[in-house]
Amino acid sequence: MSLLSIRDLVVRYRGHSGATVTAVAGCDLDVEEGQIVALVGESGCGKSSLGKAAVGLIRPAAGSVTFDGEPVEPLGQRARPAAQRRLQMVFQDPFSSLNPRRRIADLIGDGLRVSELHGGRQLSVGECLERVGLSAGIADRFPHQFSGGQRQRIAIARALAAQPRCIVADEPISALDASAQASIANLLVSLVDDLKVGLLFISHDLSIVRRIADITTVMYLGRVVETAPSEPLWRAPLHPYSAGLIGAITEPDGRGRMPADLPGDVPDPAAPPPGCRFHPRCPIAIDRCSVEVPERRLLGPGRTAACHLAEPVAAFV
Amino acid sequence: MASVSTKPPLLSIEGLTISLPTAEGQRAEAVRGVDLAIGRGEIVGLAGESGSGKTLTALSVLGLLPGGARPVGRILFEERDLLASGRAARSVRGAEVAMVFQDPMTALHPMLSIGRQMTEHVRFHLRLSQHAADTVAVEMLDRVRIPNPREAMTRYPHQFSGGMRQRIAIASALAAGPKLLIADEPTTALDVTVQAGILRLIEGLRRELQLSVLLITHDLGVMSALADRVYVMYAGRVVERGARADVLAQPRHPYTRGLLDALPHGSPSDHPLRALPGSPPAIGRFPAGCAFHPRCRFAEDICRADVPDLMPVAPGRAIACPIDPLAAVPA
């Protein structure tokens, strides 16, 4: 059993005028110890909903989330069960995720109090700060005294104070300047390597994902369309949507190459297209795609894709 | 293109300095002696991190600086000085120079139909009847590939996706037939797939309409796709300028090099991303000498003492770095 295991997850929201929107329509995902799993896709694909359901911030309509062998219960009025406190979350915007009226020591102290409950040696505030590359001397300062990148380090230090075994990070670098993005990405990689935590890294930025993630999972309109080790997925994507996403990335190489256009918009999740949800935008769709929902098939070592037309990779039977 | 033109540029910014009031009642310079030129049909990119002064530079062209900001210098648009004459600035704004913003919802009024907001300035600037202005707006919506443009005129911004809204904002900006489009992070709020469509659209409009574009973005990938020439700003000054291929593939200023090294392009390898140390300085706290020296791994005593001038190093290429440590280093 994986450290974090998500099976057949469905998340629904009630939309305007009583209509129901299915944001996550049956997804499987696994995160192992010491592994970075990236979840990518366009806005509205359901990746953030999946992340929130994974830590119990929203109640799934169906399916299961298991952390360390125990089911993750959606958070209610009462405190989070002790078994789930080693599953932590880091949010996108470090300007809203840190209470501006509390000192850094108090923010991190919350995480430390959580770790008391699962025994073992407790870290100090200073150790948590130094672990993320900040000085222990900033503990009595307030969040507004720091830049975006430093605040995200503080948010990560708070998650680390709880001595997590798995972290779900929802777009943790997309609100930051390019140089801060690189340093936060490096920090996350070193934490996963040193502490052997599992990291579910939710991002729309494929170029950073390629650099840091072991496994990349691509979502489209509530469904996982492809999962693979990052490098082979990038080099030879099996799903036409993955190919479209990769082709749309710009390279800062000065060559003046225009990114490939993937025409059309993500359809309304309240009324997803029949058959393969990607077929109206797919450059290679055939008649079958508009009728029959493609199953995820094993097409290579650790590689699955949900496309009628995807071929197994060479030398894989 | 980067070729040296004998014709005067469409827009020429000369010695632009912009000071802002600070919380302590002082004034601080946010833009410091910027020179920038844009030719007809040329796409010029302005790159830099937050606080580098790139957006203030652009807003000064439109006379849209925030209250209390004081610009000094010359902004020549077809040889009319927009800073010297409020009348010239007003007649140019929205008619000959138009702008699109990062978030199309800041440009589009949520309670007005697309048709209403696309025709108001067209009627004012071109002195057209409502009927004629409608025709212009429908043509423009069609050009930016909004499906059923006539029907779209009756709808409201919230009925469109983010990418469609940005197309509508671009159509609206171009409806009065401007010669210069200022695009401030036009794709930053969009997904890569939608971004690709907008970049292709801007490139197409440049070709078809001989439009000039001032593209402001911190995204050097976007810069690489679209810009003919690139200016890199740091702490209110231009630190490097040149043709796109030169600046991005052979950066000469350590800051440009640092920005490029921090990006996760190319194939992954075992070494981590090379982050620039530190953060960009805040306005009013720019370091003395070369403002980049505290973050520069090549800094010497001269960098702490003197402000480096932007010196030409090759045709069309200039850098503001007295030691030029990357002169012969391959990227």
Is A42 part of the contact surface with chain B (CB cutoff 8 Å)? yes
Cα–Cα distance for residue pair B188/B232, rounded to 1 Å: 18
Domain membership of residue B298 (yes or no) is yes
A179-A185-A188 Cα angle (round to 5): 145
Q: What is the pLDDT of residue A120?
A: 67
Range of B247's domain?
A: 8-91+229-264+273-324
Residue A166 contacts by C-beta under 8 Å, 6 or more apart in sequence?
Answer: A3, A4, A31, A67, A68, A86, A87, A88, A197, A198, A199, A200
The amino acid sitting at B263 is: L
Output the CA torsion sign for A62, A63, A64, A65: negative
**Token reading at B60:** 């000064």
Provide DSSP, B119-152.
HHHHHHHH---HHHHHHHHHHHHHHTT-SSHHHH
- Taking only the tens of pLDDT, chain A with its 317 residues reads 899 999 999 999 987 777 889 999 999 999 999 999 999 998 889 999 999 999 999 999 999 999 999 999 898 888 888 888 899 999 988 889 999 999 999 999 988 988 877 666 788 999 999 999 999 999 999 999 998 889 999 999 999 999 999 999 999 998 887 778 888 999 999 999 999 999 999 998 888 898 899 999 999 999 999 999 999 999 999 999 999 999 999 999 999 999 998 887 788 888 899 999 999 999 999 999 999 999 999 999 999 999 999 999 987 76
Residues of A in contact with B49 (CB under 8 A): 177-179
Range of A225's domain?
A: 4-86+165-305
**Token reading at A219:** 């979502």
What are the distances in angstroms from CA B91 to CA A86, B63, B84, B131, B178?
A: 62, 11, 13, 23, 11
Q: For position A28, which CATH number holds?
A: 3.40.50.300
Closest-approach residue (CA) in chain B for A281: B193
Q: Which residues of chain B have pLDDT under 50?
A: 1-2
Is A18 part of the contact surface with chain B (CB cutoff 8 Å)? no
Split into its structural domains, chain B has a count of 1
Q: What is the pLDDT of residue B44?
A: 98
Split into its structural domains, chain A has a count of 1
Look-up of token digits 């402001």: B216
Smallest Cβ–Cβ distance between B196 and the set A251, A252, A262 belongs to A262
Is A194 part of the contact surface with chain B (CB cutoff 8 Å)? no
The half-sphere exposure of A30 on its side-chain side, counting CA atoms within 13 A, is: 10
Look-up of token digits 């012969």: B328
Residue A236 contacts by C-beta under 8 Å, 6 or more apart in sequence?
Answer: A313
B196 CA: distance to closest CA in chain A (Å): 5
Residues of B in contact with A231 (CB under 8 A): 268
Provide DSSP, B278-295.
S-PPPTT-PPSSSTTGGG
| A230-242 CB burial, b ≥16 within 10 A, e <16 | bebbbeebbbbbb
Dump pLDDT digits (tens) for B176-186.
Answer: 999 999 999 99
Domain membership of residue A41 (yes or no) is yes
Backbone angles phi, psi at B246, to 5 degrees: -70, -50
Q: What is the pLDDT of residue A317?
A: 61
Domain membership of residue A292 (yes or no) is yes
**Token reading at A145:** 């005294």
Domain membership of residue B240 (yes or no) is yes
Residue A218 contacts by C-beta under 8 Å, 6 or more apart in sequence?
Answer: A40, A41, A224, A225, A226, A227, A233, A239, A241, A242, A245
Nearest to B136 by CA among B151, B113, B118, B158: B118
Domain membership of residue A217 (yes or no) is yes
Domain membership of residue A31 (yes or no) is yes
Q: For position B43, which CATH number holds?
A: 3.40.50.300
Domain membership of residue B309 (yes or no) is yes
Closest-approach residue (CA) in chain B for A258: B225
Q: What is the pLDDT of residue B2?
A: 47
